[in-house]
Chains A and B, each alone.
Chain A
């Protein structure tokens, strides 16, 4: 077995609130792993804690508890200095193409920074690598003398991608890389990411709130709700047969391209709001909005286990070896 490129175990991140001694439980016991060359789509609503996980992986945020391992090495408690050489292999693509590039640097400087920092290439050699990288992300090499404000959102995101990939990392954490872009540009950037991933073979933790984005990109999907993973498994299986009621609701909210089927389809509309992560519900965190919740759901927290299939754990009391709840059939 190949060691996973990224392994997160029981990750917890609480943000203390100044008054009252309470804390926002952004991430509350999440485990996940990304294998070599694998793309894991981490899906959830805003506030579900998915971005916090991404930031913890890069140690931009210090986790409250749990561990993060990169290539089998626990990096949770490494000093910043000791972490530095490992950073060569892990990079991040950010959501906001406007704040993620230093406005005072040229595109060439931005992409060359990682090369310079890790002592990989300098001078003319770095210049060559930058040119190559810019062309690989679909930009002209002449772009390197431009500054970020001269570029469009899509172009900026390509620069961010070039910066993340110029060192040929083993893992890329992509935090909603296309959410801030126009729909027409989203597709081309997604295609680019897919192509580069295939060519360069990096693993990817792809964070998004948009299921349709990961359907086409991810090998596996993990669905988050209020700081926990509720269901995970291979992409096709999740899309073909979602088991957790929340996943079913998410999938039914995505529009169907075929208008006939779209009209026939039964949509699951969840009532209410996401509860506050300051004070998550007892038992199953989803029970306040779950249309089929039973008493057990209010008291007992379901564990994330492979009830029906070992490769697709789900955290729901109602999923049993013999039955799967189906919200789309009469409720």
Chain B
């Protein structure tokens, strides 16, 4: 009853119904896998933010203990230069997540509108945009990213740009594919028949239908970008030493695999778990955001 009196002056026409966020959260919470994914991602974010504040200096070298196994002094051991692995991984989380999240964000911000417009103006824009996308897709993702990074020069910012641009064709394709399906639906026809403008149809009728797919695409893209960042850094095109990222730590560890396997295990576990976390989170969000899902 109280709810009704509150909403009376602002009728249900105003946009999203009140409590929509709560509804999504309720559906999300019922999925253990989704909650686990959220916990993992939250954990990594916390590690990235707080980790470097509480651990040792990731660049400080302990000359007395190079390649030391895990111990009280160095919880995860040290690398060949005697640097604390825990500190490097904590600091690396910051770099890796930044590269992963920001590059996908960049690709989405640029790619989704392009895909939307291309799919919607199928006759005029679509052929042009799609041929350009094909040109980029002709290069494997990493090759293209390596090329871009080589042109731009090594720095974290340029890694993000290179990975973002490399993900662009995928995002454009997926968006456009969704738009092509959605624009044929009767409710879009109803809006056209009603005289709705192109902008409103695209953003209120077509794009919302694509969000769940795009969220999944983004969460798949983040781990890809994290691995991409590792590769670029390994090639010397990414983050510059001594700044650690998971990729840098992992590739450093390669040559000491038989003497100090923990050096490779921990960054590997980090990459694997963050990938898993983002994927679970994405699946959970997709289900929770879909208004058709029961409960």
B258 at the interface (CB under 8 A from A): no
**Does A124 lie within 8 Å of B195, measured CB to CB?**
no
* Interface presence of A83 (CB below 8 A): yes
Given contacts A87-B195, A149-B291, contact A94 B11 (CB under 8 A): no
Contacts of B208 in A (CB 8 A): 104
Minimum CB–CB distance from B287 to chain A (whole Å) comes to 14
Q: Which of A87, A90, A96 contacts B186 (CB 8 A)?
A: A96
Set of chain B residues within 8 Å of A163, measured between Cβ atoms: 190
Chain A residues, CB < 8 A from B190: 92, 94, 100, 160, 163
Asked whether A103 lies within 8 Å of B186 as measured between CB atoms, the reply is: no
* Residue in contact with A127 in the complex, picked from B13, B186, B194, B292, CB distance below 8 Å: B13
Contacts of B189 in A (CB 8 A): 55, 60, 92, 94, 100
A238 to B27, CA, bound (A): 55
A113–B291 contact, CB under 8 A? no
**Stretch from A114-122, A185-193, A279-287 that touches the partner:** A114-122
**Do residues B13 and A123 form an inter-chain contact, with CB atoms below 8 A?**
yes
Given A103-B291, A144-B12, A145-B17, CB of A117 within 8 Å of CB of B196: yes
| Contact string against A for B residues 183-198, beta-carbon threshold 8 Å, 1 for contact and 0 otherwise | 0011101111111100
Question: Which A residues are CB-close (under 8 A) to B185?
Answer: 99-100
Most chain A beta-carbon neighbours within 10 Å: one of B9, B13, B191, B209? B13
A41 close to B (CB within 8 Å):
no
- Asked if B205 lies at the interface with its beta carbon under 8 angstroms from chain A, I say yes
Q: Tell me, yes or no, whether A101 is within 8 Å of chain B by CB.
A: yes
Contacts of B194 in A (CB 8 A): 87, 91, 113-114, 117
- Residues from 176 to 229 in B contacting A, C-beta threshold 8 Å: 185-187, 189-196, 204-205, 208-209
* Inter-subunit contact A90/B193 (CB<8 Å): yes
Alpha-carbon distance A85/B9, docked complex (angstroms)? 30
CA distance A101 to B17 in the complex (A): 17
Does B11 contact A118, Cβ atoms closer than 8 Å? Answer: no
- Report B206 CB to chain A, min CB distance, Å: 10
A162 at the binding interface (Cβ < 8 Å): no
Contact, CB under 8 Å: A116 / B205 = no
Write the nearest CB–CB distance from B159 to chain A, whole angstroms. Answer: 36
> Which residues in A have their C-beta under 8 angstroms from that of B193?
58, 60, 87, 90-92
Give the CA-CA distance A109 to B15 in the complex, in Å: 8
Nearest opposing residue in chain B for A167, CB measure: B194
A276 interface residue (CB < 8 Å to B): no
Q: Which residues of A contact B291 (CB under 8 A)?
A: 103-104, 147, 149
A108 interfacial by beta-carbon distance below 8 Å: yes
Whether, in the assembled complex, A33 has its beta carbon less than 8 Å from a beta carbon of chain B, the answer is no
Question: B13–A117 contact, CB under 8 A?
Answer: no
Contact bitstring A140-171, B, C-beta under 8 A = 1, else 0: 00001101010000000000100100000000
Cross-chain contact A126 with B11 (CB below 8 angstroms): yes
Per-residue CB proximity of B154-180 to A under 8 Å, as 1/0?
000000000000000000000000000
Residues of B within 8 A of A58 (CB): 192-193
Q: List 17 A-B contacts (CB under 8 A).
A: A58-B193, A60-B189, A84-B195, A85-B195, A95-B186, A99-B186, A99-B187, A103-B292, A104-B291, A109-B12, A112-B13, A116-B13, A123-B11, A124-B9, A144-B12, A149-B291, A163-B190
A122 vs B185: C-alpha distance when bound (angstroms): 27
Q: Does A106 contact B (CB under 8 A)?
A: yes
Known: A104-B209, A123-B13. A149 touches B195 (CB 8 A): no
A102 touches B205 (CB 8 A): yes
Which residues of the partner chain A approach B186 to less than 8 Å between Cβ atoms? 94-96, 99-100
Tell me the smallest distance from the CB of B26 to a CB of chain A, in Å. Answer: 15
- Closest 9 pairs between A and B when the two form their complex, measured CB to CB: A100-B186, A87-B195, A127-B11, A84-B195, A108-B12, A94-B186, A149-B292, A102-B187, A58-B193
Q: Can you name the residue of chain A whose Cβ is closest to the Cβ of B187? A: A102
Q: A91-B194, A103-B187, A113-B194 are in contact. List 19 more A-B contacts (CB 8 A).
A: A60-B189, A60-B193, A88-B195, A94-B189, A95-B186, A99-B187, A101-B187, A102-B191, A104-B208, A104-B209, A104-B291, A108-B13, A113-B191, A117-B196, A126-B11, A126-B13, A130-B13, A149-B291, A149-B292
Residues of A within 8 A of B191 (CB): 102, 113
Residues of chain A with a CB closer than 8 A to B187's CB: 99-103
Q: Chain A CB within 10 Å — which of B185, B191, B204, B205 has the most?
A: B185
Interface 1/0 per residue, A260-288 and B, CB below 8 Å: 00000000000000000000000000000
**How far apart sit A320 and B21, CA to CA, in the bound complex (Å)?**
70
Determine the distance from Cα of A112 to Cα of B11 in the docked complex, in whole angstroms: 11
Query: Using Cβ atoms and an 8 Å threshold, which residues of chain A touch B9?
Result: 124
- Report the nearest A residue to B294, measured CB to CB: A149
Q: Which residues of B contact A83 (CB under 8 A)?
A: 195
